[in-house]
Amino acid sequence: MNIKLHFEKKDFISRFHDPRKNYEMIEVKGEIRTDPLTGLTGHIAHTGTVSLQEPDLKEFNQPEARESCPFCPGRREKVTPRFLEEFISGGHLLRNEALVVPNLAPYDTQSSLVIMSKDHFIPLEDLSEDIILDSFLAAWDYFHQVNRYSPSLRHYLIGWNYMPPSGGSIIHPHLQLLATNHPGNLCRLEINKAEEHYLKYSSLLWDDFMETEKKIRERYIGNHQDVEWFASFVSQGMWGEALAVFPDAESIWDIREKHLCGLVSGLRCLFNYFKSKNIYSFNFAFYPGTKDQLGLRPHARIVPRFYLNPTTYSPDINTFQILFREPVSVNKPEQLCTEIRKHFP
Ligand SMILES: [Zn+2]
């Protein structure tokens, strides 16, 4: 029997005299929510105040930009590192256009990149399922090699910073791969919360989460090719967050090509929503899970990224997120869910 989760939220009201209304007193409402998957809180504020613009991205594809790119064909063979021969024979892994190489500036012992394509610049509308799927499959080829070479590493992670607002410093599409025993604070909270839930109820937190969300249907985008999609109750990003969960996999080693095909197809639907809102940049994080995790399902979080003020390049994260460690969202997840759902068949 599933345990019904509680989605806790509190309203706040701010009152002041508004110069736009001849100094009438007005009330502005917002919310503080607590995420049952992490225990973290998040504010919903500034709703309806942000409008997004997609700039002209052509400058990213000028010949001089390509000539200095370390990931473009011709240069990448000369300037990207190679794996130790005893680890990966030949020095790199290749899946059609997707090339896995060590990160020249590693974040951890096993820190690598997937250069996703031969093309230097791929706008969101041209980011094909084939390119993304080959890149994920190449990541899995790498993860299997790591598991053979360094079996003590338990957590495998994929990160993707697409376009500059996301922190992506190189335009050429690429994924970050990590194998580590230190998967990060958010992941650690998820693991702790799932264990705590299991010890208390003998029930799997993420299954209970999915069951509860599917009954409420306020943030459930839908099942797309066996992947469950939700608008997160507490978003880590200012525009909101999409959460994709594999309900029938327990860990990275249960994930097959069909799972990744399903995820990629859903991502394409999500990107169509992004395009409709002038969103041209995002962060993607995939946590495929470990063999011994309790109550957690492999999942991905996708957060749109943008400049709050494109003229000054003011980012959508500030003191709140960095130092108060409190995410702020300008969209209600329930509204976001309704809008994203229109793009999922
Ligand atoms: Zn390039």
How many angstroms separate the CA atoms of 152 and 235, rounded? 32
Q: Give me ligand 1 centre to Cα 258, in Å.
A: 29
Q: Is residue 305 part of a domain?
A: yes
- The number of domains in the chain is 1
Q: Is residue 12 part of a domain?
A: no
Q: Kindly report the number of other CB atoms within 10 A of residue 272's CB atom.
A: 15
Q: Is residue 40 part of a domain?
A: no
> What tokens were used for 103?
């990160």
Name the helix (H) or strand (E) containing 156: strand 155-162
CA-based angle 266:269:270, to the nearest 5?
90
pTM for the complete prediction?
Answer: 0.96
Q: Is residue 277 part of a domain?
A: yes
Q: Is residue 9 part of a domain?
A: no
Name the helix (H) or strand (E) containing 115: strand 110-115
Q: Give the environment of ion ligand 1: residues with CB less than 5 A.
A: 69, 71-72, 120, 172
Q: Give me ligand 1 centre to Cα 296, in Å.
A: 37
Q: Give me ligand 1 centre to Cα 65, in Å.
A: 8
CATH number at residue 173: 3.30.428.10
Q: What is the pLDDT tens value at each position of the chain, 345 positions in all? A: 689 999 999 999 999 999 999 999 999 999 999 999 999 999 999 888 888 988 888 888 899 889 999 999 999 989 999 999 999 999 999 999 999 999 999 999 999 999 999 999 999 999 999 999 999 999 999 999 999 999 999 999 999 999 999 999 999 999 999 999 999 999 999 999 999 999 999 999 999 999 999 999 999 999 999 999 999 999 999 999 999 999 999 999 999 999 999 999 999 999 999 999 999 999 999 999 998 888 999 999 999 999 998 888 899 999 999 999 999 999 999 999 999 999 999
Q: Give me ligand 1 centre to Cα 227, in Å.
A: 32
Note down the domain range covering 305.
58-345
Q: Is residue 281 part of a domain?
A: yes
What is the per-residue burial (b if ≥16 Cβ within 10 Å, else e) of 311-323? Answer: eeeebbbeeebee
Read off φ and ψ for residue 120, nearest 5 degrees. -75, -40
Q: Is residue 306 part of a domain?
A: yes
